[in-house]
Amino acid sequence: MGTPILIIIYVLSGIIGLCVGSFLNVVIYRVPLGMSLAKPSSHCPNCQYKLKWYDNIPVISYIILKGKCRSCKKNISIRYTIVEVVTMLLWLCAVLRFIDDSYIFTIIAMLAIVAFIAVFFIDLEHQIIPDRFNIMILLLGVIAIVSNIFFKDNSLLIDTIPWQQRLAGLVFGGLFFLIFHYGSILILKKEALGFGDVKLVAACGLLLGIYNLFIAILVSSIIASVVLLIVRKKKNDKKDTEYPFAPFLIFGMTFAMFFGSYIVNWYISLF
Ligand SMILES: [Zn+2]
């Protein structure tokens, strides 16, 4: 692909990524509360001030307003800006990482990132994973399989994960976490892992394939152990508080989506 076209793609991905991040803030706030995404228009949760278009420009409005509501001056959560910037950065990373491999997987990865960020923040705050995001991830996996079959002669349209790996990711990832889910209820008499996590792992298994899924679970388990150890120590917690696991899973899945194939190829090269 020519350099001028690539520059246009990067600039567009960055700008659209910021706007999608802005929309994601609405999704993260409203979907768990069962609110409509269209109505009412964005307003301050404190004083109900209706945001004008110039209060709603990603990142820039936050800086101009110095992080405060224009009307009541109450602090606006920095999370809104974080979501916008993270969406933009991950979209740019997706273009950088996948555009030379597969155009279709570049778009699939960008859409997966949208679902990943929504699940990360919703589970962190509400300890639920709305089904629509798991379905979205699952559908992206199906699209990847279908496009791999449909465009099998065009290497820029397919990606390198064979459908067998994807199906294995769905079945084994789902089964493994299902056993873990019911096992913890039977043995520990509590839900160590929510059913939403089971569905998330199954859907991501289909999207990323069994090898990437394995790496993702490994990474998320390690990070979760370290983070929860620190959090529990700081809070002086007696191990009975439940913490959301999906944010760690999402971190692992994102890591594996970007770097999984490098790790797998390196591992294979050892033999
Ligand atoms: Zn206000």
**Gap from CA of 119 to ligand 1 centroid (Å):** 27
How many C-beta neighbours within 10 Å does residue 192 have?
Answer: 14
Both structure tokens of 241: 């508080």
Both structure tokens of 12: 């567009």
**Gap from CA of 43 to ligand 1 centroid (Å):** 8
Q: What is the mean pLDDT of residues 20-36?
A: 94
**Gap from CA of 245 to ligand 1 centroid (Å):** 33
What is the rounded distance in angstroms from the CA atom of residue 216 to the CA atom of residue 220? 6
**Gap from CA of 74 to ligand 1 centroid (Å):** 6
* DSSP summary character for residue 53: G
pTM of the predicted protein model: 0.93
Does residue 155 carry a pLDDT above 80? no
Q: What percent of the chain has pLDDT over 90?
A: 74
Collapsing DSSP to helix, strand or coil, 221 comes out as helix
**Gap from CA of 42 to ligand 1 centroid (Å):** 11
**Gap from CA of 122 to ligand 1 centroid (Å):** 23
**Gap from CA of 66 to ligand 1 centroid (Å):** 13
Does residue 109 carry a pLDDT above 90? yes
Q: What is the mean pLDDT of residues 244-251?
A: 95
**Gap from CA of 180 to ligand 1 centroid (Å):** 45
**Gap from CA of 188 to ligand 1 centroid (Å):** 45
**Gap from CA of 114 to ligand 1 centroid (Å):** 27
pLDDT in tens, 49-102: 999 999 989 999 999 999 999 999 999 999 999 999 999 999 999 999 999 888
Collapsing DSSP to helix, strand or coil, 173 comes out as helix
The DSSP element (H or E) to which 113 belongs, if any, is helix 103-126
**Gap from CA of 69 to ligand 1 centroid (Å):** 5
pLDDT in tens, 162-205: 999 999 999 999 999 999 999 988 988 887 788 999 999 999 99
**What residues does each domain of the chain span?**
1-98, 101-271
Max Cα-Cα span within the chain: 64
